[in-house]
Structure 1
Amino acid sequence: MDGSFVIIGGGLAAAKTAEALRDKGFDGAITVIAAEHHLPYERPPLSKDLLAGTVEAASVYPLDSDWYARYRVTVHSSVRATKIDRAGRFVLTDDGSAIHYDKLVLATGSRPRPFPGSPDVAYLRTLDDSTALRARLGEGKSLVIVGAGWIGLEVAATARSAGTAVTVLEPQELPLATILGPQVATLIADLHRRHGVDLNLGTGVASIEVDAAPGGRVTADDGTVYQADTILVGIGAIPETDLAEAAGLAVSNGVDVDAGLTTSDPNIFAVGDIAHQDHPLLGRLRVEHWDTALHQPATAAANMLGHREEYTRVPYFYTDQYDFGMEYRGHASGEHRVVLRGDTDKLEFLAFWLDDTDRVLAGMNVNLWDDGADIAALVAADRPVDPAALADPSVPLGNL
């Protein structure tokens, strides 16, 4: 099949879409429009290995420049798409170009949610952000993190491992409680305190004053003032849907797509952070994690080429914080009942989130690396299980 396919985005989802199209035999023109001055790259190392300085920047690129040249994929770096002309099938860019498409993929990702007033603090979303932040970590340095979400806690762990004095301010009573529930959230809070993080829970931020950016003072809502060389804000992300909205595509909690990742325009697809998918098993959801960006592009590419495939993979994410390594599969919330199996003191355990019919909505393995497939199977089975057997390490998960 020939024609012209365009991908807007500079992350893993954009790279994997280009790769999937070539793997599936598409021989036409592929153009990637990436606003940053880098080739498309993946983001998990930005708060982990790259931030710690244990890997080189080159490791974040899933495909190198030789691959793009060999497979005739044109990458426009430092170019921002400004408008989608659906009638003429053109993407307009800030360098004055009008790039024609037969099929278009939106892989625009997310941007950090700014602190009100937008003080000149640090955020962590881009490769350049990570490089700049790494230079500010180490012995004798201090860091205040506003927000105890995944990014904030991963940075806290990396910074403490580098000898940085770390303070975290979080308005909720426990970190990640809305996702994991109080039992698991308490374990994570204790983990960070054991490693020397000054973790201030139930503490909002009244104001931020910047001296030498990105350092300054953070005043908590109880009046306490925290001074730091670096202030990092990690209070969530906003899906980059402006292009889609301006083009008249259906947008709610992201760009609405069907089970095959097709938007309300049959010639436009969306993958990764922005894809608000009608998942065949889990219903309408949007997942801001690496695994989604890695795997959704193959489904989108197949459907761009005229096939009819659905994206049915169970959501997955992982984190590494000190000696806490975990994988999470499924989709649940902190309001669901949690069943634990194993030794939480040794950080070798499984956690399962159940609905009121005892179906496993999600499962997490902590420092137990052989149980992932069985956890995914329990989530995909979509049927009740015996909670007592689920909690019993002597009962193989495969028997449930």
Structure 2
Amino acid sequence: MVDADQTFVIVGGGLAGAKAAETLRAEGFTGRVILICDERDHPYERPPLSKGYLLGKEERDSVFVHEPAWYARNDVELHLGQTVDRIDRTARTVRLGDAGTLVHYDKLLLATGAEPRRLDIPGTDLAGVHHLRRLAHAERLKGVLTSLGRDNGHLVIAGAGWIGLEVAAAAREYGAEVTVIEPAQTPLHGVLGPELGNVFAEVHRAHGVRFHFGARLTEIVGQDGVVLAARTDDGEEHPAHAVLAAIGAAPRTALAEAAGLELADRAHGGGVLVDERLRTSDPDIHAAGDVAAFPHPLSDTRIRVEHWANALNGGPVAARAMLGQDVTYDRVPYFFTDQYDLGMEYSGWAPPGSYDQVVIRGDAGKREFIAFWVREGRVLAGMNVNVWDVTDPIQRLIRSRAAVDTEALADPHVPLDGLAS
């Protein structure tokens, strides 16, 4: 039974943590809600950092989950710029790293997110080497792209994932020269497989981006702290005035691991192991967002998702579970991107090796189509490119788990809703 004497602590001030706090109050919880964030900015959403805000099309204030006054108005105790360095599960306390203050909890939510993977090569200490994860990173990178565009400078990007490609698009819009280094043979190989990655390669090439596939950065060359070039393992050297490391993110599990919570193995993306209610191996501790590895009933496996919708939806489910409600986290994974004139939404989970066929509905050459990843006739995932208002029927197809006629699936004249019945 939850009552007003209880204290719920949330560690992590991103979207998942902020939405969990909001949900606790919306569900009528009257106890203490303490939200601890290691950044000095109020909780914010991350997609604008590589999209609208980076492009200068959105104001800084637009990224915040709530206006600053919301927290006091809803009696949420917000601790900005504070880190938690220890969880004592027996005493049910967390320790704030700076002052060593102990904070008691009755229920604890870990929403610690992920952090960018670092390049382990010479030259990463140069001032022109960047990452993009936090608002401060985006502010700095926006200034860099402005300067590169003005001076016809070169940006080298290590990694052709979502962050790498979105920053490449932004850099070209600023007028910078861009080279993307990627060890796979196509962009987004780990998400889209080889079949669809070339769609994104071609749209970027059409806007002047150069790709160097099948190679890795081995050294960033500089002088007097300034980046001059980037070298790859095949002996190539690329001119560079700035380098962005966009080689993925790792879940921030150190706090959970030190507390003895069970972690997922690397094959399932790492992260903190949780059940369908987002409970960890300790029933008084939940985890949500990028850090949580949860069992998904549609994919028949445990997954960890690093996208906006997972934080948006996972935080509230964890909050309701902390309140003792009978909830299950079974949302279809969803993410989106906008690059130049290409807009895309992706629903589902279909990493390479999990499907036996990719079905295209529409004209991929004109970049107006829907792609479906299919296994034994069952739709695992769908991606709509410049085709809109189809996310709901795509997700119904995925949820149905029924085999569909792939010829009908490929036919734009056959309604998607009829296939899901």
Task: Provide the C-alpha distance between the structure 1 equivalents of 2:121 and 2:71, rounded to a whole number of angstroms.
Answer: 40
Equivalent position of 1:233 in the other structure: 245
SS of corresponding position for 2:71: helix
C-alpha deviation, 1:32, in angstroms = 0.9
| Mapped pair 1:364 → 2:391 | no
Per-residue CA deviations over 1:193-251 (Å, capped at 9, x if unaligned) read 11000111112222223446573321011212112221110111000000000000001
- Aligned counterparts, 1:34-53, within 5 A: 34-53=37-56
Q: Deviations over 1:55-109 (max 9, x none)?
A: 1111110112110010011111111100001000111011221111000000000
The residue aligned with 2:394 is 375
The 3-state SS of whatever aligns with 1:161 is: helix
Distance (Å, rounded) in 2 between the aligned partners of 1:185 and 1:371:
21
2:314 corresponds, among 296, 301, 314, to: 296
For residues 83 and 243 of structure 1, the distance between their equivalents in structure 2, rounded to whole angstroms, comes to: 6
**In 2, Cα distance between equivalents of 1:56 and 1:211:** 35
Partner of 2:118: 114
Task: Give the Å deviation of 1:279.
Answer: 1.9
Aligned position for 1:285 = 303
Residue 5 (structure 1) aligns with: 8
CA distance in 2, matches of 1:80, 1:220: 37
Q: How does 1:45-194 map to 2 (within 5 A)?
A: 45-95=48-98, 96-117=100-121, 119-120=124-125, 121-137=129-145, 138-139=149-150, 140-194=152-206
CA distance in 2, matches of 1:66, 1:265: 33
Structure 2 counterparts to residues 267-346 of structure 1, below 5 A: 267-282=284-299, 283-335=301-353, 336=355, 337-346=357-366
Question: Are the counterparts in 2 of residues 122 and 214 from structure 1 also a CA contact under 8 Å?
Answer: no
Residue 284 of structure 1 and its aligned partner are, at CA, apart by 1.1
Q: Assess if the C-alpha contact under 8 Å between 2:121 and 2:218 holds in 1.
A: no
Which residue in 2 is equivalent to 1:20?
23
Q: Which amino acid aligns with 1:350?
A: I
Give me the TM-score of the superposition, normalised by structure 1.
0.97
Structure 1 residues without counterparts, runs of 5 or longer:
none
Which deviates more from structure 2 when the two are superposed, residues 205-214 or residues 34-43? 205-214
| CA distance in structure 1 between the aligned counterparts of 2:416 and 2:304, rounded to whole angstroms | 28
| The one of 254, 267, 284 aligned to 1:242 | 254
Between 303-312 and 204-213, the greater mean CA deviation after superposition: 204-213
> Any conservation in 2 of the 1:181–1:338 contact (CA below 8 Å)?
no
- Preserved CA contact (<8 Å) 1:258 1:279: no
* Corresponding pairs, count: 399
C-alpha separation between the residues in 1 aligned to 2:389 and 2:234?
Answer: 45
Residue 397 of structure 1 deviates from its aligned partner by 0.5
- 2:231 alignment partner in structure 1: 219
CA distance in 2, matches of 1:191, 1:22: 45
Equivalent-residue separation in structure 2 for 1:176 and 1:5 (angstroms):
39
**How far apart are the structure 2 equivalents of 1:285 and 1:211?**
43
**Partner Cα distance (1:372, 1:383) in 2:** 18
Aligned partner of 2:267 in structure 1 is none
What TM-score, normalized to structure 2?
0.93
Instruction: Give the letter for the 1:288 counterpart.
Output: E
Shift in Å at residue 334 of structure 1?
A: 3.0
Shift of the alpha carbon at 1:117?
Answer: 4.1
RMSD, aligned α-carbons: 1.2
Secondary structure at the aligned position of 2:235 is classed as coil
Structure 2 unaligned spans of 5+? 265-269
Provide the secondary structure at the position in 2 that maps to 1:181.
Answer: helix
Instruction: Please point out which of 165, 177, 198 is paired with 2:210.
Output: 198
CA distance in 1, matches of 2:88, 2:119: 33
1:214–1:321 distance in 2 versus 1, CA, 3 Å: farther
Q: Secondary structure at the match of 1:53?
A: coil
- Once residues 215 and 182 of structure 1 are traced to their aligned partners in structure 2, the CA distance between those partners, rounded to angstroms, is 32
Instruction: Give the drift of 1:307.
Output: 1.1
